[in-house]
């Protein structure tokens, strides 16, 4: 079955948002965009969970989207995070992303209020009928408290606006069912599961690890697409321990921000209620980076 949303196949980087003590570090964000494009990253996804969207003000959220679109200047596609647990707020943010020039919007499922499947359908359907930009659903039940079931995703896939789904349920059965039921492009939402998901029909990843090693994430996907399965497995085996630590030592993006700081690519600042890694976590992460072949530049 031909799929919608193939423009977003491959590696999308879930961009971290750099901070100063007083707000968004715009210079660092521009530098991050340029670095990603220089690494060959085809798609950038600002202000998702990795971008700490829950702690950005509405003005900051919009500013990050506009800045990333402006700085990319057409050199990469932009999949802007515009989800909310308020349907009206998600509509407003998605309209802003469209006006700012984003290529698509990434819509996390409503969190905390735990809607029914009918409520989830109505939420996404309302956004789809209200905007003129391609939409990517984002299912991450571990964060939202509610799984978007394959039957609901199938119903939503009938909308011309909804073109893809970022799947982070951790279930290959669910991924397989979505692929069998819909013509959506399925993207991995878990770096460590990207290769297994490719094996059952996914077409890419929205990657946290790509903040550090976008070329390596893309190379694994490319090897799989060329049919070089042994090479893809070898790349997965190298990526897996680092991906596990980036997403397992502490909630994302705490380890990622620490890794960027260790590599001299950020100050590590987070916003409460997220707090920095403790000494043990930093040591574990630094060791993981070294094993991968990255060189932390801070003394532990």
Residues with catalytic annotation?
138, 166
Containing H/E element for 35? helix 26-38
Cis peptide before 273 (omega within 30 of 0): yes
First and final C-alpha spacing in the chain:
51
CB atoms within 10 A of CB 215: 12
Q: What's the residue count for the chain?
A: 300
Q: What span, in angstroms and rounded, lies between the C-alpha atoms of 208 and 168? A: 12
The dihedral region occupied by 164, where left means phi > 0, alpha psi between -120 and 50, and beta the remainder, is beta
Containing H/E element for 163? strand 162-167
Q: What span, in angstroms and rounded, lies between the C-alpha atoms of 284 and 245? A: 8
Distances (CA, A) of 58 to 113, 172, 266, 268: 20, 35, 23, 22
Containing H/E element for 122? helix 117-130
Token pair for residue 215?
């070329």
Give the DSSP letter string of 237-291.
HHHHHHHHHHHHSSSTTHHHHHHHHHTTS------TT-----HHHHHHHHHHHHH
């Amino acid at each position: 079955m031909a799929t919608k949303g193939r423009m977003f196949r491959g590696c999308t980087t879930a961009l971290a948002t750099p901070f100063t003590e007083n707000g968004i570090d715009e210079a660092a964000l521009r530098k991050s965009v340029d670095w990603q494009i220089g690494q060959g990253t085809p798609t950038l996804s600002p202000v998702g969970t990795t971008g700490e969207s829950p702690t950005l003000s509405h003005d900051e959220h919009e500013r990050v989207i506009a800045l990333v679109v402006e700085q990319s200047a057409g050199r990469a596609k932009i999949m802007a995070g515009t989800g909310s647990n308020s349907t009206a707020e998600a509509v407003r943010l998605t309209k802003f992303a469209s006006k700012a020039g984003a290529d698509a919007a990434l819509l996390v499922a409503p969190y905390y209020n735990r809607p029914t499947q009918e409520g989830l359908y109505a939420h996404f359907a309302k956004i789809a009928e209200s905007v003129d930009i391609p939409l990517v659903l984002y299912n991450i039940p571990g964060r939202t408290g509610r799984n978007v079931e394959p039957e609901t995703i199938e119903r939503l896939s009938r909308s011309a606006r909804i073109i893809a789904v970022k799947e982070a349920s951790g279930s290959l059965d669910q991924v397989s069912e979505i692929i069998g039921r819909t013509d959506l492009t399925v993207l991995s939402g878990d770096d460590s599961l990207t290769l297994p998901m490719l094996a059952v029909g996914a077409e890419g990843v929205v990657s946290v690890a790509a903040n550090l090693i976008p070329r390596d994430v893309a190379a694994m996907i490319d090897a799989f697409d060329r049919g070089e399965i042994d090479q893809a497995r070898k790349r997965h085996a190298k990526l897996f321990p680092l991906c596990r630590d980036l997403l397992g030592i502490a909630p994302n993006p705490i380890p990622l921000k620490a890794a960027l700081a260790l590599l001299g690519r950020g100050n590590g600042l987070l916003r409460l209620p997220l707090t920095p890694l403790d000494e043990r976590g930093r040591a574990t992460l630094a060791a993981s980076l070294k094993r991968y072949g990255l060189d932390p530049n801070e003394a532990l």
